[in-house]
Structure 1
Amino acid sequence: MFRIATAVAMLAAVLVAPQSPAHAAELPAPAVDGIYPMVFPVGGDNHYTNTFGAPRSGGRTHAGTDIMADKMLPVVAAASGTIGWVSSTCCALEIEHDDGWSSMYIHLNNDTPGTDDGLGNGIMPGLERGVHVEAGQIIGWVGDSGNAEWTSPHLHFELHTPDGTAISSYEHLLEARGAAEGRDVAAYVDAGSRFHRPTVLAGVPDRFYFGIPEDVPLMGDWDCDGTKTPAMYRPSNGFVYLTNANEFGVADAEFFYGIPGDIPLAGDWNGDGCDSFAVYRPSEGTVYARNALGTGFADFSFTFGVPGDQPFAGDFNGDGIDSVGMYRLRNGLVYYRNALTSGPADKQFFFGAPGDEIVAGDWDGDGDDTVAVYRPSNGYLVVNMENNTGPTEYSLWVGTFETVVASTGS
């Protein structure tokens, strides 16, 4: 189960949901120097100029900003609100923001990738008039639908004031924040020994190699700079090597921790803002944690969980200190403690399906970690925003990998 290869592909876990999460990521306070606070609506490499008011055919003038980007890059909601209009012919929609403003998203994809057959989806399934979406939530994909069929793929984005007046969105886009800022992202692992790190959602990634197959990948903030970077753990002998950069290079630190058969965990065990290592020893049901990076004895240990369950770490109560949870693969039981001590679980619930891989992260930027599962059987990431048994809140197809880890949005 823990034989894991080393290529990681990161996507922001700000995914689509028919239901909206209770803890939505907060946008900045409204209107600083006249700038409307919003999330940039395209995830990935793009370029745009100020063409608001430019003449168009039929005596029209351009009412928005054309954000040029590759077809099938994700389009996200610029602000939280309710879908007020969806084109009956595909592929455009309007979001009525919670604060009275609104935004339009036009020329969304309507083709199977790489073709012009009109058979693909332009709007994320489940999104229709009256559905509430959160800022940064995926609503569709860049395309060339409508009267843009013979142009380069782009998103036509419009921003409207509460009285319905279209204004130039150019200056506001320049100040917009990326959808992943303040949130964790999920990292997917395949067998290529290559890390793929998009800065926002599914854009063109930075690619680099680190580690070798069969070592276990983790992500952590090893140098306390606020960004998680890769580490690898060798289950056969407890060898750890890590880097402080998301780029190709040699390890910045190497040491041994644990014994053969231990399962590695990464987290901030003392609230100092720096991640370090722990191991879970299935033969004992014991966690051995260390607050420094290096070979040495554990700073503390405690028993928790049932051997055979899959351990994971997260800050489940938002106190700045990570603790340990367990996931039962056969039935989806999740349970965790908020303290790094022996004792009963503080919370338990059912989530996922047999064979899922679990990870915890702060997917919505509210300071609390919740769980997500990667489902190898169909390539979906499924996110639980409340750590409760209940309907899935977010899901997104991401592809075929072996496991999932969490990283920092940037």
Structure 2
Amino acid sequence: MEQVPLRKIIHIDMDAFYASVEQLDNPELKGKPVAVGGNEVRGVISAASYEARKFGVRSAMSGAQAARLCADLIFVKPNFDRYKEVSKQIRKIFHEYTDLVEPLSLDEAYLDVTENKKGNPSATLIAKEIRQKIFETTGLTASAGISVNKFVAKIASDFNKPNGQKTVNPDEVEAFIEVLDVKKFYGIGKVTAEKMYQLGIYTGTDLKSKSIEYLEEHFGNSGKAYYNLSRGISFSQVKPNREMKSIGAERTFFKNLSSEIYMEERLNNIAEEIERRIKKYKIAGKTVTLKIKYSDFTLQTRSKTLPYFISDKGLIFETAKELLYQEKLKDSVRLLGISLNNLNTHQKKFVVYQLKFEF
């Protein structure tokens, strides 16, 4: 049987990062409901301040819906250059403690502090120190989850938000998982959670009661993973050089587009953005995927895999254009996106081993 890796993992998650940076840079926004991205008419919100969240405003929500929920909501245009600048400051702090840092995005990361540069045996105290340094350096708050693996640490970081942390010690992991609603399991999405509810699986305990055979019958290849997760078992290690699986860009339009000719121009601009990113990371890909969101918010994707790797804007655009005309559009379009998958990156293999120590 494969041994379970026992590590000291911290998951750091900045609190309402984009909105908090905007409130930091613009004092008049402090204490007010702020939405980054979108507007009262259209567009999608990237982040919402905690003051806005009290009204039910959330990221990925349409600006129009958010405005209905919160009449005093202040919309702010995203400033990603500024967010990246602050993110770099935060990551510099992480590396004062360990080089085993796996960023998930600009505002969150995993840290493996099993062996750390400070020689501190307490992951809990390290997390507290890091959060304090982030505040002193940037003026922003962060929350943290601390446990034996990435899965549990990720869930724990959400427990005492904002500006808090939670440690789940090795002997507490199973009890912690057992009482969780399955929809809180990182890796179980809305559709899967609904399917589990229909099968009478509501909590970690319910999930744990099912055999591998039962879970594989109903959830296919994911069955074994769910079996392990219900026991707090995860073999995924912190990977500093996280393999990039895709690269893409998308645009939401101020007015819906109904003509493919106008869409071609937008696709060309998106392809230019992807080419810039490709050159930065020195990669190429074989599969081009076109994302189309219609005026009724239904989503459609169309993909084509080429027999060779591409990195040129022209080839990306021509493939996306071919996909656009592949079949008739069913309605006017509010968003277009292109992603390049099947990249020429190489996956590294990691050795799993058992460690024993005081947590």
**Both proteins in one fold, TM over 0.5:** no
TM-score range normalised by the length of the shorter chain = under 0.3
Q: TM (normalized to structure 2)? A: 0.27
Q: TM (normalized to structure 1)? A: 0.25
- When you count strand as a share of all residues, which structure comes out higher? 1
